[in-house]
Chains A and B, each alone.
Chain A
Amino acid sequence: MATGGAVAGQRAHSRERRFGRRGYSWLTLAPALALVALFTLFPVGYAAWTSVHRHVLVLQDRPYVGLRNYQNAIEDPLFVDSIKSSLIFVAVAVPLVTLVGLLVALLLNQRVRGFAILLVLVLLPWAIPTVSAGITWRLLLHGDFGALDGFLYRIGAIDEYIQWLSSPGLAMASVIGVHTWREFPLPAILFLAALQTIPPDLSEAARLDRANAWERFRYVTLPHLKAALLIVLVYETIIALSVFDLVYVLTGGGPGSATTLFSWFTYTATFKYLNFGQGAALSFIMAAVLVVFIVVYMRIVRVREEPS
Chain B
Amino acid sequence: MRRKTLTRRAAIGLLVVLLTAVTAATAALGAGGAREQTSLTFDVWSYSIPTIQDNIKKFQQQNPGVKVALRDTSWFDYHDVMATRFTGGNAPDVTYSSDHWLREWVAAGWIAPLDEHFSQFKSYMKEWAPYAREGMTLDGKLYGLPYYADLVTFIYNDRILRQAGFRSAPKTWEEVAKQALAIKNKGLAKYPIYIPLKKDDPWLIEIFYSMVYGQGGHMFNKDDNPVFNRPGSPAEKTLQWLRDAMKKSKIFNPAAPQSAEPDIVKTMGAGNSVFTVLAKYNLAELNLGQHKERGHFRMALMPGASHSTVGFVRFYAMSDRAADRGDDVVKNSGAFLQYFGGKTDGQYKVVKRWALEKGLGFANLPLYADRQVAASINKWGSVPLERSQAKLAHVKEGLTPYWGVWDIYARQQLNAAILGQTSPRKALESMADRWEQLKKQYG
Contact at A144–B255, with CB atoms within 8 Å?
Answer: yes
Give the residue name and chain of the B residue nearest to A77 (CB): B430
Contact at A20–B442, with CB atoms within 8 Å?
Answer: no
Binds B, one of A126-134, A164-172, A215-223, A290-298: A164-172
CB < 8 Å: which of B14, B80, B108, B200 contacts A23? Answer: B14
Give the residue name and chain of the B residue nearest to A260 (CB): B412
Contact mask A9-32 → B, CB, 8 Å, 1/0?
A: 000000000011111011100110
Interface: A155 (CB within 8 A): no
CB < 8 Å: which of A25, A144, A271, A273 contacts B259? Answer: A144
CB-contacts of A266-287 with B (<8 A): 268, 271-275
CB < 8 Å: which of A27, A144, A171, A272 contacts B80? Answer: A272
Interface: B258 (CB within 8 A): yes
Contact at A252–B11, with CB atoms within 8 Å?
Answer: no
Contact at A20–B15, with CB atoms within 8 Å?
Answer: no
Within 8 Å CB of A1, what residues of B?
4
Q: How extensive is the interface on chain A, given as a class?
A: 35 or more
Known: A20-B10, A30-B18. A254 touches B255 (CB 8 A): no
Contact at A59–B442, with CB atoms within 8 Å?
Answer: yes
CB < 8 Å: which of B7, B257, B422 contacts A166? Answer: B257
Within 8 Å CB of A23, what residues of B?
7, 10-11, 14
Tell me the bound Cα distance from A80 to B272 in angstroms: 39
Contact at A143–B254, with CB atoms within 8 Å?
Answer: yes
Give the residue name and chain of the A residue nearest to B81 (CB): A271
Give the residue name and chain of the A residue nearest to B414 (CB): A256
Within 8 Å CB of A158, what residues of B?
none
Tell me the bound Cα distance from A184 to B45 in angstroms: 37
Give the residue name and chain of the B residue nearest to A22 (CB): B7
Contact at B11–A22, with CB atoms within 8 Å?
Answer: yes
Within 8 Å CB of B417, what residues of A?
256
Contact mask A194-229 → B, CB, 8 Å, 1/0?
A: 000000000000000000000000000000000000
- Determine how close the nearest CB of chain B comes to the CB of A152; give it in whole angstroms: 15
Contact mask A225-269 → B, CB, 8 Å, 1/0?
A: 000000000000000000000000001111111100000000010
CB < 8 Å: which of B18, B80, B104 contacts A271? Answer: B80
Binds A, one of B32-40, B174-182, B401-409: B401-409
Contact at B80–A274, with CB atoms within 8 Å?
Answer: yes
Contact at B199–A20, with CB atoms within 8 Å?
Answer: no
Mostly helix, strand, loop or mixed at chain A's interface?
Answer: loop
Tell me the bound Cα distance from A252 to B201 in angstroms: 10
Tell me the bound Cα distance from A59 to B198 in angstroms: 29
Tell me the bound Cα distance from A1 to B83 in angstroms: 54
Task: Point out which of A23, A25, A78, A256 has the most chain B C-beta atoms below 10 A from its C-beta.
Answer: A256
Known: A23-B11, A30-B15, A30-B18. A166 touches B255 (CB 8 A): yes
Tell me the bound Cα distance from A127 to B420 in angstroms: 38
CB-contacts of B53-101 with A (<8 A): 80, 83-84, 87
- Determine how close the nearest CB of chain B comes to the CB of A47; give it in whole angstroms: 16
Within 8 Å CB of A258, what residues of B?
419, 421
Interface: A8 (CB within 8 A): no
Tell me the bound Cα distance from A60 to B266 in angstroms: 44
Within 8 Å CB of A109, what residues of B?
none
Within 8 Å CB of B15, what residues of A?
26, 30
Task: Point out which of A23, A54, A272 has the most chain B C-beta atoms below 10 A from its C-beta.
Answer: A272
Contact at B419–A167, with CB atoms within 8 Å?
Answer: yes
CB-contacts of B4-27 with A (<8 A): 4, 6-8, 10-11, 14-15, 18-19, 22
Contact mask A139-169 → B, CB, 8 Å, 1/0?
A: 0001111000000000000001101011110
Contact at B416–A256, with CB atoms within 8 Å?
Answer: yes
Interface: A91 (CB within 8 A): no
- Determine how close the nearest CB of chain A comes to the CB of B202; give it in whole angstroms: 11
Contact at B254–A57, with CB atoms within 8 Å?
Answer: no
CB < 8 Å: which of A58, A144, A254, A273 contacts B108? Answer: A58
* Chain B residues in the interface with A (C-beta under 8 A): 3-4, 6-8, 10-11, 14-15, 18-19, 22, 80, 83-84, 87, 104, 107-109, 190, 194, 198-200, 253-259, 263, 266-267, 272, 401, 405, 408-409, 412, 415-417, 419-422, 430, 441-442
A-B contact pairs, 12 of them (CB 8 A): A20-B3, A21-B7, A23-B10, A30-B18, A58-B108, A145-B267, A166-B254, A166-B258, A166-B259, A255-B199, A256-B422, A274-B405
10 smallest A-B Cβ distances: which pairs?
Answer: A256-B416, A143-B255, A255-B257, A20-B7, A144-B255, A166-B258, A22-B7, A26-B11, A58-B108, A256-B421
* Chain A residues in the interface with B (C-beta under 8 A): 1, 19-23, 25-27, 30-31, 34, 38, 54, 56-60, 77-78, 142-145, 160-161, 163, 165-168, 171, 251-258, 268, 271-275
- Given A166-B258, A255-B415, 14 more pairs with CB closer than 8 A: A22-B7, A26-B11, A27-B14, A38-B22, A56-B442, A57-B84, A59-B441, A143-B255, A163-B254, A166-B419, A252-B200, A256-B199, A256-B421, A272-B80
